[in-house]
Structure 1
Amino acid sequence: MRHFAVVGSGPAGFYTAEALSKTYGDKARINILDRYPVPYGLIRFGVAPDHQSLKAVSKRYDKVADEPGVDFIGNVTVGRDVSVEELLELYDAVILAIGAPHDRKLGIPGEDLAGVVGSAEFVGWYNGHPEFADLDPPLGGTHAAVIGNGNVALDCARILSKTPHEFEGSDIVGHALEALDGSAIRTVTILGRRGPHQIAMTPKELGELGHLEEASPVVDAADFPPMEADDALEPGHRKSITILREFAGTPADPAKPKRMVFDFFAKPLRIEGNGKAERIIVERTELDENGAARGTGETYEVPASLVITAIGYSTPQMAGVPYDERGGKFRNEGGIIGDRLYAVGWARRGPTGTIGTNRPDGYEVAEQVATAMPAAANSDRAGAEGLKRLLNERGIMPTDYDDWRKIEETEVGQARPGSPREKFVRVEDWLSALGR
């Protein structure tokens, strides 16, 4: 029997557990560990609440968790409750799938002013992440800015621009829905250092912006290269640019009071304000011969009492695990960190790709594990039994998948009309639902 620990219960963790289960069958015991009492990671805390079809992938993960050799062990923080070194003593292999939950910094003056928040914080706030439930973003001003040209930036801008009615059927948490209902924001500026051809926005997310009840997208046609330049783009990217061109050719609807302004070729230089964010000083850019943004010297102001930075994420460092500072991920070669220690997902690649990208990633690492550790050989590692014994000695009370189902049942039961659930946003509330 082999014993494997997968640290992290988001997409990368579940796909890796799925692959290990298929590879080893009844010859392995696979434990999926998570620092929270509930599973799903990015699916629960990162995917936009109005994208329920994406969140439905959790049903696949439920099937993985139902496999006889797979167990969920929640409410355990690796690095605090148990070390990676200790896990390596208990398991044949440890696979780190902890994602990249930390916001990258802009590195400009003023980013520490009140009113400047990272997208991980803002997304966590409206998705019920316990670390960000008390964020209280300033929504009393009329202008907000989102720095970044990826799908996360679009999510943040869209959430700021929707009406309460448009959140029907979503699982946005109650405190965020109430705050957004009272928001005074009427203009959201989306800042990108380069042009439309360099965006990392997908057609589905862009297309949604053309159907909002009270907000119109605004794009300057002068920002685009000649139409024939689109022919060199990948099909999906070309479709995104086509949507942006359509926005540029459509006047903002005067009946809609809100605007989502795409400001391309815009490099934030600093954020200014009297103790809180009031404006961003931006430099106009142009593309050099290598496609990189360079400043032109022309500067202007973008008003914003709320500034959301959506420029990427990084994986937190862990004691004893080599780290790639520049890439914001664990140092690895094809997923291999060291002897019996692996990384998958964003912890391996950095914050790139979609949810589905994690599947081949997890299967590749599972294959490497299987090559190094044939199923035929028996292990003398203690696995889950040893881990739970250690946790008990330290006063840690882990949760399992049955506990999660009880929590889920309670969340579903307290949902507002039309919503699939009302999430708990405190660890103590999750545990209270279990009678602890």
Structure 2
Amino acid sequence: MSSPNPMYVAIVGAGPAGFYAAQHLLKQDPNVHVDMFDRLPTPYGLVRAGVAPDHQKIKSVTKQFDRTAADPRFRFFGNVEIGKHLSVAEMAGLYHQIIYTTGAQTDRQLGIPGEELTGSHAATEFVAWYNGHPDFRDYKFDLTQEHAVVVGVGNVAIDVARILCRSYDELHETDIADYALEALKESKVKTVYILGRRGPAQAAFTLTEIKEMGELSEATAVIPEADITLDPLSQA
């Protein structure tokens, strides 16, 4: 049953969670009005800045978000940082409800010696860089060395390794940032090592992700037999 009076809701964060929340609210009650705020000028959060540029099928979810944004009861305000341009107290005076969908924005530290040295980067930095995130477009990554190491065996780790291994022609067909494309074109990286602290049974990547590594035009995936053999710890 819809409310007889308009309800104004603010959503802070324009990623998938924010848009799904907006979609639900607008569908649930015709008297709800949603204003969405994000500190970046563009919406879609990690769909835009986190999904690999060669995974366009996943990014197509933005079409669903576009339909939500087209609702006359929805408004998007970019380049607005809550706490800087608009205080929480000010928002509380303007809206009946405030929903925070800002996500987790800090990297997980390994806690190992040398982690802070030059040439050691968080995956979020590299991913945001090649996706054109404005906070990371000026980052510099040393691609003059022949060997690169990716620590972790989740989908993001595979994304990073795959982008490093793709040819220029392959990357050119994606929506990778132009400056990243040019930097990777000059890359001298020949070998990418993917390191996991546990066995193959504990690897977090999906079958689709690892399969793509074997379909690259100018790279070969090499998995030593010893690394796919289940040891007692992997079997436990």
TM-score normalised to structure 2 length: 0.93
- Structure-1-length-normalised TM-score: 0.51
Rounded Cα–Cα distance in structure 2 between residues aligned with 1:146 and 1:288: 21
Is 1:11 aligned to residue 16 of structure 2? yes
Q: What is the Cα deviation at residue 134 of structure 1?
A: 1.1
The AA in structure 2 aligned to 1:71 is R
What letter corresponds to residue 144 of structure 2 in structure 1? Answer: G
Query: Is residue 185 of structure 1 aligned with residue 189 of structure 2?
Result: yes
Structure-to-structure mapping, 1:55-70, within 5 angstroms: 55-70=59-74
Task: Name stretches of at least 5 consecutive residues in structure 2 with no aligned partner.
Answer: 1-5
1:173 aligns with 2:177: yes
1:303-342 map, 5 Å: none
Q: Which residue of 2 aligns with 1:89?
A: 93
In structure 1, C-alpha distance between the alignment counterparts of 2:105 and 2:98, rounded to whole Å: 20
Asked if the contact 2:172–2:181 (Cα under 8 Å) also holds between the matched residues in 1, the reply is no
Give the deviation of 1:288 after TM superposition. 8.2
Once the two structures are superposed, the pairs formed by residues 343-382 of structure 1 within 5 Å of their partners are none
Secondary structure, in 3 states, of the residue corresponding to 1:116? coil
Q: Map residues 127-276 of structure 1 onto 2, 5 A cutoff.
A: 127-225=131-229
Shift of 1:210: 0.8
Distance 1:222 1:75 in 2: 51
Gaps of 5+ in 1: 227-264, 266-285, 292-436
Contact 2:50 2:131 in 1 (8 A): yes
| Secondary structure at 1:107 match in 2 | coil
The alpha-carbon deviation at position 96 of structure 1 amounts to 0.9
Deviations 1:215-266 (A, max 9, x none): 111112223356xxxxxxxxxxxxxxxxxxxxxxxxxxxxxxxxxxxxxx9x
Q: Read off the aligned partner of 2:53 and give its amino acid letter.
A: P
Partner residue, 1:21: 26
Alignment match, 1:314? none
Say which structure is richer in strand.
1
Of 76, 81, 98, the residue aligned with 1:77 is 81
Q: Per chain length, whose mean CA-contact separation is higher, i.e. which structure has more relative contact order (CA < 8 Å, sep 6+)?
A: 1
Contact 2:155 2:205 in 1 (8 A): yes
1:287 aligned residue: 233
Q: How far did residue 23 of structure 1 move?
A: 0.7
3-state secondary structure, aligned to 2:9 = strand
Amino acid at match of 1:122: F
Quote the Cα distance in structure 1 between the aligned partners of 2:168 and 2:183: 10
Name the CA distance, whole Å, in 2 between partners of 1:102 and 1:215.
32
Q: Deviations over 1:67-112 (max 9, x none)?
A: 1211111110112222334322321111111122321111111111
Shift of 1:174: 1.1
**Cα deviation, residue 49, structure 1:** 0.7
Q: Which residue of 2 aligns with 1:119?
A: 123
Q: 1:364-421 CA deviation, whole Å, 9 max, x = no partner?
A: xxxxxxxxxxxxxxxxxxxxxxxxxxxxxxxxxxxxxxxxxxxxxxxxxxxxxxxxxx
Counterpart CA distance in 2 for 1:151 and 1:62 is 26
- The one-letter code matched in structure 2 to 1:22 is K
SS in 2 for 1:78: coil
How many residue pairs were aligned? 231
Determine helix, strand or coil for the equivalent of 2:220. Answer: strand
SS at match of 1:287: helix
- Write the letter of the residue equivalent to 1:208: E
Aligned AA (1:130):
P
Partner amino acid, structure 2, of 1:135: Y
Q: Shift of residue 61 of structure 1? A: 0.5
Aligned CA RMSD, in angstroms, stands at 1.7
Percent of matched pairs sharing the same residue:
48
Is the contact between residue 11 and residue 35 of structure 2 (CA under 8 Å) also seen in structure 1?
yes
Q: Aligned AA for 2:165?
A: S
What residue is the counterpart of 1:390 in the other structure? none
Residue matched to 1:356? none
